[in-house]
Amino acid sequence: MTAVERLEAAIAKLERAKDFTTSGPWEHVRDSEAAFGYKPVWESLVLSGGGEAILDWGSDVREADAELIVTLHRTIDAQLAVLRAGLSYGAPLHTELALADAILGDNS
């Protein structure tokens, strides 16, 4: 696959994923009792912009995992901008190709 094809494939994959996920902004709620006025069975929760519960976990799941998911969701548009910038150059930069390969699952 050429460099341009790799960028195009990564853009397509990320756009598909973005289109089929719940829109943000997402947030991580650590204290569900403060957020909702009662203490459900889960301790850590990721919410969408509309307040919909996206992920809820028991206390055995680390808060760092929820923070990472929220942070990565916030970077989707920036990742797409980097990939598209790579298409505008004569030759994509190593960083853009590395991002494309990570999105595609090719870490070689």
Express each pLDDT in 66-89 by its tens digit: 777 778 888 999 999 999 999 998
Strands 27-29 and 53-57: unpaired
Percentage of the chain beyond pLDDT 70 is 62
At 39 the pLDDT is 46
CA distance 16 to 8: 12
At 9 the pLDDT is 97
Whether 61 shows a pLDDT value over 60: the answer reads: no
| 40, two tokens | 């459900």
CA distance 19 to 103: 15
Name every residue whose Cβ is closer than 8 Å to that of residue 102 and which is 6 or more positions away in sequence.
none
In this structure, what is the dihedral angle of CA atoms 87, 91, 92, 93, given to the nearest 10 degrees? Answer: -150
Mean pLDDT computed over every residue of the chain: 76
At 72 the pLDDT is 85
Whether 11 shows a pLDDT value over 90: the answer reads: yes
| 74, two tokens | 């916030």
At 83 the pLDDT is 95
Q: Three-state DSSP class for 44?
A: strand
CA distance 102 to 7: 11
At 74 the pLDDT is 84
Domain boundaries, the chain: 3-104
At 69 the pLDDT is 77
